[in-house]
Amino acid sequence: SLYPHSLRNIDELCASIVRSHRETSQYRVEELQALRWKLFSREEIQAYQSKSVDEMWQHCAIRLTEAVQYVVEFAKHIPGFRMLSQNDQIALLKTGSMEVVLVRMSRFFNTENNTVFFDGKFAGTEVFKSLACGDLITAVFDFAHGMCALKLTEQQIALFSALVLINADRPCLEDKGRVQRVQRSVEFGLTHILHRDNQESLMHKLYQRVAVLRSLCSLHMEKLRWFSQRYPLTAHSLFPPLYKELFA
Ligand SMILES: CNC(=O)[C@@H]1CCCN1C(=O)c1ccc(Cl)c(COc2cccc3c(C(F)(F)F)cc(C)nc23)c1Cl
């Protein structure tokens, strides 16, 4: 059948994905609304900019790893994900978790002053200068802008995140057919809520965003490789183990 045995209908499927998104979203959008105008002072920005490249990368890697762990929790509650083999679950997370981190990051983005929530306040691109990868940060900010322009609801973000993760075209899947069945049920769920919200036109825009995500994440992996070659000690000793497991 189209649905995993535990679910009787499409509403239950959507409800469980939305619940899982809410419980693993690290910060609620309402919480961050209150912090919107909490910006870094000149001194604080100077402090970030005077960090060394590997210090700043390590600082970000810790946050990215934390965010990836929340995405792993989210994935585990997507109906059908846990029915996949361990290897297929890891294969989907290895390639999809950073994409979901990016989709989620756009929820913490303030398009009015082009800042993103980072380390407890809202930061502009200048805060990340010492990373020495302006193109990556610009791409992250541009992607967040593009996502914000779609004005997705939390439910739409939840289903879209699940769809980004459950992708049967990922490389080296053991049982592509099973992943396809889970992917089809999630696609069905997304179509269902877009229809309910009377926003079917969003579907093709969301698939365009998926294409942008793919290219953005290959840029990330390239940067990650550059960084771990340039600073092997930091990359291999200081990056939290999960990060190495997923991205090494
Ligand atoms: C609320 N905050 C958040 O949601 C984000 C996601 C997880 C934690 N977090 C931040 O604090 C954060 C917010 C904005 C930015 Cl621009 C950053 C810095 O982002 C990165 C710096 C270095 C490498 C990054 C790479 C690379 F290349 F490793 F794959 C990939 C991504 C996507 N982001 C990188 C960070 Cl770490």
Q: Is the pLDDT at 4 greater than 60, yes or no?
A: no
What is the mean pLDDT of the segment spanning 5-30? Answer: 87
Q: Is the pLDDT at 6 greater than 70, yes or no?
A: no
Query: How much is the pLDDT for 242?
Result: 57
Whether 170 and 91 have beta carbons less than 8 Å apart is answered as: yes
Query: How much is the pLDDT for 235?
Result: 64
pLDDT band at residue 137 using 50, 70 and 90 as cut-offs: very high
Query: How much is the pLDDT for 229?
Result: 80
Whole-angstrom Cα distance, residue 145 to residue 44? 24
The Å distance, Cα 14 to ligand 1 centre, comes to 28
Query: Which ipTM value was assigned to this complex?
Result: 0.94
pLDDT tens for residues 42-75?
A: 999 999 999 999 899 889 988 888 898 899 999 9
The whole model's pTM is what?
Answer: 0.92
Q: Which atom of ligand 1 is nearest to the CA of 101?
A: 6
Smallest CA-to-CA distance from 69 within 216, 211, 240, 200 is with 240
Pairing of strands 121-123, 109-110: unpaired
Q: How far is CA 244 from CA 26, 64, 95, 173, in A?
A: 21, 12, 13, 20
Non-local CB neighbours of 53 within 8 Å, separated by 6+ positions: 130, 131, 132, 227, 230, 231
Which is higher by pLDDT, 51 or 27? 51
Whether 88 and 179 have beta carbons less than 8 Å apart is answered as: yes
Q: Is the pLDDT at 7 greater than 70, yes or no?
A: no
The Å distance, Cα 85 to ligand 1 centre, comes to 29
Percentage above 70 pLDDT, the chain = 90
Residue nearest to atom 31 of ligand 1 (CA): 220
Q: Is the pLDDT at 20 greater than 90, yes or no?
A: yes
The Å distance, Cα 118 to ligand 1 centre, comes to 8
State the Cα torsion 109-110-116-118 to the nearest 10°. -100
Mean pLDDT of the chain: 89
